[in-house]
Amino acid sequence: MDTPFMDALDEKLAAHFPGRVVRKDLVRQIKTGFNVPVYVLEYLLGKYCSSTDPEVIAQGLEYVRDTLSRNYVRADESEKIKSLTREAGTHRIIDKVKVRLIETEDKYWAELTNMGVRFVNISEAIVRQYDKLLAGGIWAIVDLRYDAEFQHRGQTRPFIIEGLRPIQQPSTDISDLIASRSAFTRDEWLDVLLRSIGLEPTHPDLDRRKKLLTIMRLVPMVETNFNLIELGPRGTGKSFVYREISPFAILISGGQTTVAQLFIHLGTGRLGLVGLWDVVAFDEVAGIRFKDPNGVQILKDYMESGSFSRGKEEVPADASIVFNGNIDADIATILKTSHLFQPLSPCLQDMAFIDRLHFYLPGWDLDKMRPEYLTDHYGFVVDYITEVWRGLRKTSYSDALDRYFSLGDHLNQRDVRAVRKTVSGLIKLLHPDGLFTKDELQEYLELALEGRRRVKEQLKKMGGLEYWAVNFSYLDKETRQETFVAVPEQGGGGLIPAGQPNPGVVFTVGTDRDVGRHAIFRIETQAMKGRGGTRVTGAPSRAMRDAIQTAYTFLKGQSRQLGISKDPSEYDFHVQIVNLMQSKEGSETGVAFFIAMLSAMLEKPVLEQLVVLGEMSIHGSLLKVPALAERLQLAMDNGAKRVLIPSENKRDFADVPSDVLDKLQIIFFSDPVNAAFRAMGME
């Protein structure tokens, strides 16, 4: 067989971990013909092909193929396996085994998934020994016996499980791995982990950031009670590590789920998935539904406390929770029109639920999988390394950042916990010996702050002022320098661009009363000689149409006070509403329409990056702007530098965050005419 080129990292890995590494291209070769998880294949390859000797590999590969050919149950050959078992009396198979308790019979029945047999006799002793049989099932090597005379309640049930051996290594002593870690640099170890999950880290597309984001998918395997969400395009491998890599993780593919399935069955007292698995991952989160309306609340409580209450007892558990889903639209468009949790099912678009997420992994920053991204080099046998990761769950480095850094004022207790758990998980993956440098820790800290801030930025969009504190930072204890960590996709806003706008163009913040949400609108107005009419385009709401008419009526009645020679009655106004955030409504915008009409008629632009707030009557009376702090925050986030505000709102500034006030020039006005002059820099 062909022997791929062995690089220096292959040589070092094989020298320090003999018998615990395998060539990853062998896995792909065999998997083509056998649809089993990677950890099942590597269990066999690790036993017979964990060598750098081509002859040993060739012999082992042949034995593995032969074993799978004879024992692996393909769904299309299930009848053949049944027949072989019947003729021989016994047969050893490799299949996924699930067990259920039939209460009416007071008996456990096993199901052989690929073989398609749902009533297989299994002893209570085996069920008690491997309780995961009752929660999703396990892949195993099964000694199956056929007894045509065996009956249960008058029905022949001839298949009997005589013995069962899960396809996973016995408990691993992680001290050897910790001792050998020092032989590798941090970057070498990072590449080893990537090769262990099948990726080739030397590919030029896989830069440092993409490597760390990929490794973030593994944090739930080493960190207990870690809540991760990844949303991104299809085909980036979001669910691969939870479905294929670890025998301690279970992937639930969308659809309806139950409290009993996840937590505990009140009737039988049987633990659900979070009590039996290290990682419970949900795929296709857009389709998640709970039969029990209390399901989301119980899930939220578990994500917060690491325990759940069913009946009278509080049950602790260590399972980390992962949510995977697809974002198909352009991220920049979503940020302008909605929020980055839009793909979640309606039952999960709950701010209390979202606030319990420790890290939002931006799947749009990772590439779609291509054949050239897969490695032909050596990596750890995944069954071995996942045992190590499982052992590392018993340790914690949550206080590691305190050696060199402290966290900024904007982080609340949940934020701090999320950041500490992320840093701890990255250290356990990349520095299982606990030895790391200040620069390495700083890199993990910045990534942790970014992932948690991404959650808070979206909560701010959804919940307003309650989540205004998003300017995450950390302080270097030695230099006392404070560093702020941004979220790359947020940028600096951009809906309100820099530069002088054209005459008649004004930005304002309107309110969508249906959902209690504020949105940025751009008003574009042209004034042309005519008979004094208005034309409105852009699908404005009724509230906006009323505001336009009010502004026009006031403009006609104030031409003398404005000191202009032009008569508004001799102009036709074309007003276009540009809905920048896809809001349904846009009330409280009258002053902005008045200024836009006057600016168009005078052919004089308003100040650069200005937002106008305020509603008015046909006589020029001003109404106080509600929810001022949230409007100012929205304006600042989207590029505003100046904001025109009615003087009546001065008393509301005590509720406005100081960092918002520091970044905006506030201009007060006492009436619409005064506002217009100030907006155009005429006062």
One-letter-per-residue 3-state SS of 650-667: HHHHHHCCHHHHHHCEEE
pLDDT tens for residues 339-396? 899 889 988 989 999 999 999 999 999 999 999 999 999 999 888 899 899 999 999 9
Token pair of 423 as six digits: 């840093």
Query: What is the DSSP-derived secondary structure letter of residue 647?
Result: G
Helix axes 186-196, 382-392, angle to 10 degrees: 120
559 close to 602: Cβ distance less than 8 angstroms: no
Tokens 């990677």, residue located:
38
| Cβ neighbours around 94 below 10 Å, total | 21
What's the gap between Cα 187 and its chain centre?
A: 25
392 close to 222: Cβ distance less than 8 angstroms: yes
pLDDT tens for residues 381-434? 888 899 899 999 999 999 999 999 999 988 999 999 999 999 999 999 999 999
Distance CA 575, CA 373 (A): 53
Longest dimension (CA), the chain: 108
- Domain final residue pick, 132, 166, 200: 166
3-class state of residue 386 by DSSP = helix
Tokens 């702020």, residue located:
484
136 close to 246: Cβ distance less than 8 angstroms: no
pLDDT tens for residues 611-661? 999 999 999 999 889 889 888 988 888 889 999 999 999 999 888 888 788
Predicted local distance difference test score (pLDDT) of residue 460: 84
Distance CA 213, CA 223 (A): 16
Task: Give me the CATH number covering residue 664.
Answer: 3.30.230.10
Model confidence, pTM = 0.75
Q: What is the percentage of the chain residues whose pLDDT exceeds 90?
A: 58
Predicted local distance difference test score (pLDDT) of residue 226: 98
116 falls within a domain:
yes
Q: Residue 519's beta-bridge partner residues?
A: 510
Tokens 């003398």, residue located:
560
Token pair of 295 as six digits: 């399901």
33 falls within a domain:
no
pLDDT tens for residues 532-542? 889 999 878 88
Q: What is the dihedral of CA 67, 72, 78, 80, to 10 degrees?
A: 0
Range of the domain at 536: 505-679
34-48, 54-68, 114-128: least confidently modelled range = 34-48
pLDDT bin (cut points 50, 70, 90) of residue 47 is confident
Predicted local distance difference test score (pLDDT) of residue 310: 67
Predicted local distance difference test score (pLDDT) of residue 475: 94
250 phi/psi in degrees, rounded to 5? -130, 135
482 falls within a domain:
no
Task: Give Cβ neighbours of residue 28 (< 8 Å, ≥ 6 apart).
Answer: 198, 374
- Domain final residue pick, 117, 147, 166: 166
- Domain final residue pick, 114, 149, 166: 166
Token pair of 265 as six digits: 């069955």
Distance CA 492, CA 510 (A): 21
3-class state of residue 35 by DSSP = coil
Tokens 């099964």, residue located:
142
Distance CA 683, CA 677 (A): 6
159 falls within a domain:
yes
3-class state of residue 550 by DSSP = helix
Output b/e per residue, 655-683; b: 16+ Cβ within 10 A: ebbeebeeebeebebebbbbbbbbbbeee
Distance CA 293, CA 290 (A): 6
Q: What is the dihedral of CA 298, 303, 307, 311, to 10 degrees?
A: 0
95-104, 560-569, 665-674: least confidently modelled range = 560-569
* Burial (CB count within 10 angstroms: exposed 0-12, middle 13-18, buried 19+), residue 426: buried
Predicted local distance difference test score (pLDDT) of residue 494: 65
Mean pLDDT over 482-503 rounds to: 81
295 falls within a domain:
no
Predicted local distance difference test score (pLDDT) of residue 269: 72
Amino acid symbol at 435: L
pLDDT bin (cut points 50, 70, 90) of residue 61 is confident
396 falls within a domain:
no
Q: What is the mean pLDDT of the chain?
A: 89
Task: Give Cβ neighbours of residue 565 (< 8 Å, ≥ 6 apart).
Answer: none
270 falls within a domain:
no
573 falls within a domain:
yes
370 phi/psi in degrees, rounded to 5? -135, 155
473 close to 466: Cβ distance less than 8 angstroms: no
pLDDT tens for residues 69-94? 888 888 888 899 999 999 999 999 99
| 640: nearest Cα among 619, 612, 676 | 612
How many domains does the chain fold into?
2
Q: What is the percentage of the chain residues whose pLDDT exceeds 70?
A: 95
pLDDT bin (cut points 50, 70, 90) of residue 583 is low
Q: What is the dihedral of CA 667, 673, 674, 677, to 10 degrees?
A: 80
For residue 261, pLDDT beyond 70: yes
